[in-house]
Amino acid sequence: MLIVTAKMPRKRLALGVAAAALLCCCTVALNLGQGAVSEVSASTVPDPKGVKTNEDRIEYLSAYGWQVADQPLASQELLIPTEMDESYDEYLSLQREQGFDLEQYAGKRVKRYTYEIINYPSGEQGVQANLLLYKNTVIGGEVLSPQLDGFLHGLAMPQTGGQE
């Protein structure tokens, strides 16, 4: 065991302790502030777990502000590829931005449900929302226009009348 002693004036020691205490208080205050921000943003995103029925899927989409048709336009079983090349990069990035990680479901069979959105902000007709589900958990999704000059964006409602 090594013991080191040092001689220091009390005023300098008191200043050092006060500075350390102030630094600790600032760090705690900043962390509390960040926690409050993340709780608010986390509460605006619907819980992806426990989405079992058609009503659950419609409710999940409505949490983003979407009004959709009562029944899906289509439901398909898909196999997520075990290896994804660069052609998937943009789509995987879109999903990651929303908090979804499709790569952890590589090789798994998932269900894709497609709904028609009836309240798209621009008024465009035929806009669709896709939800990807593994068992009873939403693992991905997007909003798209199937038109030739269409668009694709995340599930969040655009702030302005068009695409995000």
What is the rounded distance in angstroms from the CA atom of residue 92 to the CA atom of residue 70?
A: 28
Block means of pLDDT (10 residues each) for the chain, 164 residues, are 51 43 38 34 69 94 95 95 90 94 94 96 94 95 92 89 48
139 lies in the same domain as 71: yes
Instruction: Kindly report the number of other CB atoms within 10 A of residue 117's CB atom.
Output: 22
64 lies in the same domain as 35: no
- 90 vs 17, 41, 148, 152, 154, CA distance in Å? 51, 24, 19, 11, 12
pTM score: 0.69
Residues contacting 124, CB < 8 A, separation 6+? 145
Is 104 a domain residue?
yes
Output the pLDDT for position 9.
57
Domain count, the chain: 2
Output the pLDDT for position 14.
41
Do the beta carbons of residue 63 and residue 46 sit within 8 Å?
A: yes
Do the beta carbons of residue 115 and residue 129 sit within 8 Å?
A: yes
Q: In which domain, by residue range, is 24 found?
A: 9-44
Output the pLDDT for position 4.
44
Output the pLDDT for position 159.
77
DSSP E strand boundaries for 35-147: 74-79, 109-116, 128-134, 137-144
Output the pLDDT for position 160.
63
Is 77 a domain residue?
yes
Strand partners, 42: none
58 lies in the same domain as 33: no
Output the pLDDT for position 135.
94
Q: Which residue is associated with the tokens 């302790």?
A: 17
Do the beta carbons of residue 98 and residue 155 sit within 8 Å?
A: yes
Is 147 a domain residue?
yes
69 lies in the same domain as 140: yes
Output the pLDDT for position 149.
87
